[in-house]
Amino acid sequence: MCKGEDVADTRFIDGMVKRIALIRRGENPASTFRDFLAAAAYAIHNRCSFSEEYEAAYMEIARRYGADMGDMTRLLGDIATEIATTKEDVLGSLYMAMESGNKWMAQFFTPYHVSLLMAQMIMGDCGDVIKRNGFVTMLEPACGAGGMVLAAAQAVRDAGYDPAEVLMFHAVDIDQVCAHMAFIQASAIGLPGIVAVGDSLSNRSYRAVYVTPAYAMGGWARKLGDRDRKTASAGRSIARGTAGGRCVK
């Protein structure tokens, strides 16, 4: 499902809708928006985790749009600034304002106050986890535009921590457009994480994976590995202590 929040500045959203329509006059703005999201996602990913496949896809979009890529670059700059400033689901609101939602895939809005309430309930004890591991992780199996990820970041922020330093997320969505939005927005606020395109209910391989610059540059693969090794070591110690019916605390 594709989820968004209804809190973004309507004047800003209206202005973005008009700018997108002007990029390729006479063409479907929703198609232009999808190409914009794809190009932005490829460019952001390749800043720190280069992929020849994504580079080729970006260049194909650039070939088709020609000089209009300049408008897309400026559009991305303004949208990224708005996301970084408001910490809100700007792209989700823009997506729905352009009537890009797919009713057959049950794509709908989740009001931000609901997402934030859920995040505060789920992340309420994040301080204990952060003190123990140095960070907290989250999995969002149907991330949509990333509204829940943004809300979780706000909940961590409300708890007195910088989510860019202590929150690592893994998000999945079956819709590539939604995955692109989630990836762009998480990158814009500096969150370390991975966004994948695929069905989180199946065992099939993901169709695409995007790594945020903060994840690539922050050594998060090492941090997660260290945590997993520590957890495994603790598990072995407990297993040895409980052998023969003894429980060692």
Angle 148-91-99 (CA atoms, 0-180°, nearest 5)? 110
Q: Mean pLDDT of all residues in the chain? A: 88
Cα–Cα distance measured from residue 236 to residue 242, given in angstroms and rounded to the nearest whole number: 10
Q: Is the pLDDT of residue 18 over 80?
A: yes
**Among residues of the chain, what percentage have pLDDT more than 70?**
86
Angle 225-148-87 (CA atoms, 0-180°, nearest 5)? 100
Strand-strand pairing, 193-197 and 167-173:
parallel
Token couple for 152: 């979780």
pLDDT tens-place string over residues 132-187: 999 999 999 999 999 999 999 999 999 999 999 999 999 999 999 999 999 999 99
Exposed, middle or buried by CB within 10 Å (0-12, 13-18, 19+), for 28?
Answer: exposed
pLDDT of residue 158: 93
pLDDT of residue 245: 42
Confidence of residue 248 (pLDDT cuts 50, 70, 90): very low
Strand partners, 210: 195
Cα–Cα distance measured from residue 18 to residue 30, given in angstroms and rounded to the nearest whole number: 12
Buried b (16+ CB within 10 A) or exposed e, 171-190: bbbbbbbbbbbbbbbbbbbb
Cα–Cα distance measured from residue 197 to residue 178, given in angstroms and rounded to the nearest whole number: 9
Say what the pTM is. Answer: 0.87
pLDDT tens-place string over residues 48-106: 999 999 999 999 999 999 999 999 999 999 999 999 999 999 999 999 888 755 554 44
pLDDT of residue 4: 43
Cα–Cα distance measured from residue 117 to residue 140, given in angstroms and rounded to the nearest whole number: 16
Q: What is the mean pLDDT of residues 106-113?
A: 68
pLDDT tens-place string over residues 210-247: 999 999 999 999 999 988 888 777 655 555 554 444 33
In the chain, what are the domain boundaries? Answer: 10-105, 112-235
CATH number of the domain located at residue range(s) 112-235 in this protein: 3.40.50
Q: What is the mean pLDDT of residues 195-201?
A: 95
Q: Is the pLDDT of residue 204 over 50?
A: yes
Sign of CA pseudo-dihedral 44, 168, 110, 158 = negative
pLDDT of residue 109: 60
